Amino acid sequence: MNSGRFVLSQILDLVHRQRLDRLVECYHVQSRVRHFGCRQQFICMALAQLTLREGLRDIATCLNAKPEALYHLGFREPVAKSTLAEANEQRDWRLWEGLAKHLLRKARSLHTGEDLGLELENTIYALDSTTINLSLTLFPLAEFRRTNAGIKLHTPVDLRGPIPTCIHITAARQHDVRWLDELLFEAGAFYLIVRGCMDFKRLDLIARAGAFFITRAKDNLRFSRQQSLPVTATAVRSDQIGKPTLPNARKDFPWLLRRVCGFGAETESTLIFLTNHLDMPALTVALIYRLRWRLELFFRWIKGHRRIKHYYGTSPNAVKTQIWIAITVYLMVAILHKQLSLPGTRHRTMQLLNVHPFEKVPLHELVTEAEFKLPPANNANQLLLLDL
């Protein structure tokens, strides 16, 4: 990469102009636009995510303070707060969803060979959702409870990354179970499902697709044992194969079900897992489910490190635009971190990009760890030629 280019410009190279132009043409969002196109909108919103700007005025002020940077980024006029607000309100958010999905595929291909610490070639997905709280005064259409509003992000995350495979945004009132009806399950893959989403009708969909699930059993589960398997690990209390006891549950899930009871030494609690994989060791079932914590890393990124706590617009279109661009920035950092084989964590990489967006230095030099060396001390015995 050219050392004379801004760090922000080098990051934006991951979004090809041709790809963005095709999406713009597909959704017809740039008709009669002379100066502030979709690429300029994306640059403003991506900078806001990278540098954690508080609002639209903050974004415009920071960009307009660097006129030479504006010119090299493709702007021909100063950024106006009202122009950016209008773009977020009116331009179809599906444009940014399409851009994020393109980067999703690229990021997943880079993390395909990542080791999860298990001798398992199957892809492992964790299914869950996270609720983003909103102000009930500003977002009355997203009413969640009597005192606040909110939206939900539902996603299956490929634990090699962790990289989401798709993201579905709904009102916070919708239960997670309903979202499972819209998923297409991959044959041979494992799906880790939280106990709150454990529903035999949905588990039947996974089994029919030729995929496997691992979930926690609810406290009121009724299970009829048909066979007990030998237990070889000390952390496993029992390993049984059977079927649900209740008639309705057995009708919804007519397959054989495996019930693994394990004991967590760290928490000193008993955990009961359910799976439709009948052959793997019982301890492996528990170890696979333990990988669910990687999903929380993605949610922590989106809710903690990205700027979606402060929204730049109150319409549904503006909110979804900001969320999808935040996800796009997350994916761009994940791709850069993998492509350049950067040391440390992605959070460290983001911190460096946060404070150096307008530095003219190659990215790999900026984010690579370098040894700190003190400048050589002056020799006290050397006489000075001039005493200034």
Tens digits of residue pLDDT in 196-231: 888 999 999 999 999 999 999 998 999 999 999 998
Q: What is the per-residue DSSP string for 264-327?
A: ETTTTEEEEEEES--SS-HHHHHHHHHTTHHHHHHHHIIIIISS-SS-S--SHHHHHHHHHHHH
Helix (H, G, I), strand (E, B) or coil at 142: helix
Which residues does residue 153 pair with via DSSP β-bridges, in sequence order?
A: 130, 169
334 C-beta neighbours (distance < 10 Å), count: 24
CA–CA separation, 270 and 81 (whole Å): 55
Counting beta carbons within 10 angstroms of the beta carbon of residue 128, is it exposed (0 to 12), middle (13 to 18) or buried (19 or more)? buried
Tens digits of residue pLDDT in 140-199: 656 666 667 778 888 899 988 788 888 888 887 778 888 888 889 999 999 999 988 889
Kindly list the domain boundaries of the chain, sorted by start residue: 7-95+311-367, 195-291
Tens digits of residue pLDDT in 277-316: 999 999 999 999 988 888 888 887 777 655 555 678 888 8
Statement: residue 136 has pLDDT above 50: yes
CA–CA separation, 286 and 215 (whole Å): 10
Statement: residue 80 has pLDDT above 90: yes
Residue scoring higher pLDDT (176 or 139): 176
